[in-house]
Amino acid sequence: MAHSVNDNSIESLISASKALRLSLQKSQSIGSALEKAGNRFEEINHRLPSLEAAVRPIRADKEALAAVGGHINRAVGPAAAVLKVFDAVHGLEKSLLSDPRSDLPGYLSVLKRLQEALRFLGDNCGLAIQWLEDIVEYLEDNAVADERYLSNLKKSLKSLRELQSEEEKANLDGGLLEAALEKLENEFRRLLTEHSVPLPMSSPSSLGEQACIAPSPLPVLVIQKLQAILGRLIANNRLEKCISIYVEVRSSNVRASLQALNLDYLEISIAEFNDVQSIEGYISQWGKHLEFAVKHLFEAEYKLCNDVFERIGLDVWMGCFAKIAAQAGILAFLQFGKTVTESKKDPIKLLKLLDIFASLNKLRLDFNRLFGGPACLEIQILTRDLIKSVIDGAAEIFWELLLQVKLQRQNPPPQDGSVPKLVSFITDYCNKLLGDDYKPILTQVLIIYRSWKHEKFQEGLLINEVLEIVKAIELNLEAWIKAYEDTSLANLFAMNNHWHLYKHLKGTKLGVLLGDAWLREHEQYKDYYSTVFLRDSWGKLPGHLSREGLILFSGGRATARDLVKKRLKSFNEAFDDMYKKQSSWIMSDKDLREKTCQLIVQAVVPVYRSYMQNYGPLVEQDASSSKYAKYSVHTFEKMLMSLFQPKPVRYGSFKGRQMSGKFNGVADLRRTTSAVV
């Protein structure tokens, strides 16, 4: 029985021990859990303020909580739409930063989408911000949200509102639109540059002939691309930039076309030349170059401006063309003509002014069509000034020419008896004025000039003025003939000039105007003075070779020899003196010179030959024979035929006193004569 009790006690102890061990383990677990819970409580304790703020709306008024949902939905809807479009804008970035040339239509389409998106953002961002501001104001009024939370929202909305300024709206795309527009401008320039080729020249010196190839307009496809680009750039207020690029490229192309013509002379200033003669060749080129520039280059630019800018409006493309014309050189052409009109007055300048007027008049319709619009006002003003200066200058020179001829009368005649430069110049000059090239132009100029003065012009005025000039020349000749002290030189001078008037005017416009009777009169005057000249000079020479008395001394050789020596000596002295003096005299006309020399030879050489054949032997054997038989007949004839030869040109001058301040620097023929003879 005892054994049984003991067994039960041991089992009880074992059970109690197990229970105690389990309790200890639970206690340890609880302790560990309590330790961890302490840390969590501390963390919760720190988070309680924010948690309190977060759950505060739950404690708000039930009606306020019910209403806030609708406000939030209305505010978030527009904001979400704006954000969606904004994301779409950034989705276009890759396409718009690519090169437009690969797919210009596609590029323009994407750019259009970008602008539509930006317009949406610009129009709706403000609305979304307003809705958000309204909900914040509602939350604040109804104490639904924490003040610190609302403060942060207000700061964010204020920043968004500031971005709504006009300057900041442009940055909604982060500069993507600006970059795309610059690429379009570059493509506009590239298309123009690659298809703008200078006009090829076959021969710049022969522009009046087939000197150039007609300019080809830009290909239709290129023009269409330029117009498409223009449309998009204009929509973004970039028209002026487009025009600037267009003018720069096309005016540069025109200048490149003109470079082959060597137009440096257009830059000549009034200080760089004193008379028209120094640039006469340039004036002739100027007319051809101006016609080429207007008809081939500016005409092409005019049409091209119309093609490219026609959809924008007349004012725009005409203004564009005006800038191209000005920058490419039309103003330089006109200024050169103005410089010529401002140079020293000179008779030859009249012809050059008429050349300039003819060139401008030939292009009158082209000028009116190309440069007639308001945009070309500067070109119009300079053109009008040039035409007025040309007409005034030409008319004044023409009407003062008679006075200038009269003023020469007081000057001495040429010392060599030649034709004065005034005479040769005026005869050729008047013929030119009456010729088919200049008479119509001069008539038109004088008609315009007198109309400005409210005076009528009749063609008889031009003819009468030319006739008066010729009469003045005749009176000058009469005065100059009388001015010579040496009558033989006076006769030679008269021969020269009457023959010049006859020969150089016969068969000419001026000669026909003066008539056959006038011409025959001068021919007769030439014959008369020729006869008098031979009689009073060389005709007296044979008288020194008289045979008187020699027959009586046929039996006395010594006496005859002395008489022959004496007469040969007298003859030689007279010949040498006359030859020396007349060797400096001039007959420019070859026919007159040869005929006169032949008449002298006929008057002198036969007598000399006969005398030497008969009496030469008396002195040829004498030790001093060379003093008397000084010239052989051949040498004598050769010397006479060499008389009156023109000397190397040394031009005199055509100068006279000024009538008024109008004629700045009277006519100078040192250079002008060579230009018209």
Tens digit of pLDDT for each residue in 48-105?
A: 455 455 545 444 555 555 555 555 655 555 554 444 444 444 445 555 556 677 768 8
pLDDT value at 354 more than 90: yes
pLDDT value at 157 more than 60: no
* Under 8 Å between Cβ of 139 and 154: no
Query: Which domain-ending residue is among 410, 435, 470?
Result: 410
Provide the number of structural domains found in the chain.
4
**What's the domain range around 119?**
62-164
Reference 663, options 395, 278, 397; nearest CA is 397
Residues 362 and 289 in one domain: yes
Residues 571 and 641 in one domain: yes
Select, from the ranges 236-240, 313-317, 320-324, 631-635, the one with the highest average predicted confidence (pLDDT). Answer: 320-324
Percent of the residues in the chain that have a pLDDT greater than 90, as a whole number:
47
Q: Does 539 or 130 have the greater pLDDT score? A: 539
Q: Does 384 or 2 have the greater pLDDT score? A: 384
Is 465 contained in some domain? no
Residues 576 and 628 in one domain: yes
Query: Which domain-ending residue is among 354, 377, 410?
Result: 410
What tokens does 231 get? 């449309």
Looking at residue 122, what is its pLDDT?
Answer: 52
pLDDT value at 7 more than 90: no
Reference 586, options 424, 406, 409; nearest CA is 424
Residues 335 and 189 in one domain: yes
Is 569 contained in some domain? yes
pLDDT value at 579 more than 70: yes
Residues 212-246: tens digit of each pLDDT: 444 557 899 999 999 999 988 888 888 999 999 99
pLDDT value at 149 more than 90: no
Residues 396 and 255 in one domain: yes
Looking at residue 361, what is its pLDDT?
Answer: 96
Q: Does 202 or 417 have the greater pLDDT score? A: 417
What tokens does 572 get? 């030689």
Looking at residue 658, what is its pLDDT?
Answer: 38
Query: Which domain-ending residue is among 391, 410, 429?
Result: 410
- DSSP letter for each residue of 47-84: HHHHHHHHHGGGGS-HHHHHHHHHHHHHHHHHHHHHHH
* Mean local confidence (pLDDT), 390-402: 95
Looking at residue 270, what is its pLDDT?
Answer: 75
Q: What is the pTM of this model?
A: 0.71
For residue 279, give the DSSP letter. Answer: G
Is 211 contained in some domain? no
Looking at residue 385, what is its pLDDT?
Answer: 97
Is 424 contained in some domain? no
Percent of the residues in the chain that have a pLDDT greater than 70, as a whole number:
65
Looking at residue 367, what is its pLDDT?
Answer: 96
Looking at residue 27, what is its pLDDT?
Answer: 54
- Cβ neighbour number for residue 590 with a 10 Å cutoff: 10
Number of residues in the chain: 677
Looking at residue 674, what is its pLDDT?
Answer: 27
Residue 19, classified by CB atoms within 10 Å of its CB into exposed (0-12), middle (13-18) or buried (19+), is exposed
pLDDT value at 555 more than 60: no
Reference 375, options 311, 301, 322; nearest CA is 322
Residues 33 and 99 in one domain: no
Looking at residue 457, what is its pLDDT?
Answer: 79
Residues 479-523: tens digit of each pLDDT: 999 999 999 999 999 999 999 999 999 999 999 999 999 999 999
The CATH number assigned to the domain holding 304 equals 1.20.1280.170
* Under 8 Å between Cβ of 85 and 114: no
Looking at residue 670, what is its pLDDT?
Answer: 31
Reference 157, options 121, 129, 135, 128; nearest CA is 129
HSE toward the beta carbon, residue 59, CA cutoff 13 A: 9
Residue 613, classed as helix, strand or coil, is helix
Looking at residue 661, what is its pLDDT?
Answer: 38
- Cβ neighbour number for residue 332 with a 10 Å cutoff: 15
- pLDDT grade for 46, boundaries at 50, 70 and 90: low
Is 511 contained in some domain? no
* HEC letters along 115-156: HHHHHHHHHHHHHHHHHHHHHHHHHHHCCCCCHHHHHHHHHH
Cα 286 to Cα 302: distance, rounded to the nearest angstrom: 22
Residues 51 and 67 in one domain: no
Residues 257 and 382 in one domain: yes
What tokens does 163 get? 């971005």
pLDDT value at 648 more than 70: no
* Mean local confidence (pLDDT), 363-367: 96
Q: Does 130 or 288 have the greater pLDDT score? A: 288
Looking at residue 210, what is its pLDDT?
Answer: 41
Residues 125 and 233 in one domain: no
- Range scoring the smallest mean pLDDT among 139-143, 247-251, 269-273, 426-430: 139-143
pLDDT value at 6 more than 90: no
For residue 646, give the DSSP letter. Answer: P
- Range scoring the smallest mean pLDDT among 182-191, 385-394, 615-624: 615-624
CA–CA distance from 449 to each of 304, 342, 388, 454 (Å)? 38, 18, 9, 9
- pLDDT grade for 115, boundaries at 50, 70 and 90: low
For residue 533, give the DSSP letter. Answer: H
Region of 515 (left: φ > 0; alpha: ψ -120 to 50; beta: rest) is left
Looking at residue 21, what is its pLDDT?
Answer: 64
Cα 274 to Cα 665: distance, rounded to the nearest angstrom: 10
- pLDDT grade for 31, boundaries at 50, 70 and 90: low
Cα 510 to Cα 515: distance, rounded to the nearest angstrom: 9
Cα 633 to Cα 639: distance, rounded to the nearest angstrom: 10
What tokens does 74 get? 């209305």
Is 677 contained in some domain? no
Is 398 contained in some domain? yes
Reference 630, options 540, 546, 557, 568; nearest CA is 568
Is 329 contained in some domain? yes
Residues 48 and 83 in one domain: no
pLDDT value at 614 more than 50: yes
The CATH number assigned to the domain holding 146 equals 1.10.132
* Under 8 Å between Cβ of 176 and 114: yes
Residues 50 and 83 in one domain: no
Residues 279 and 394 in one domain: yes
Long-range Cβ contact pairs of 463-471 (< 8 A, separation 24 or more): 463/513, 465/398, 465/399, 465/401, 465/402, 466/430, 466/433, 466/434, 466/510, 466/513, 467/513, 467/514, 468/402, 469/401, 469/402, 469/405, 469/426, 469/430, 470/426, 470/427, 470/430, 470/510, 470/514
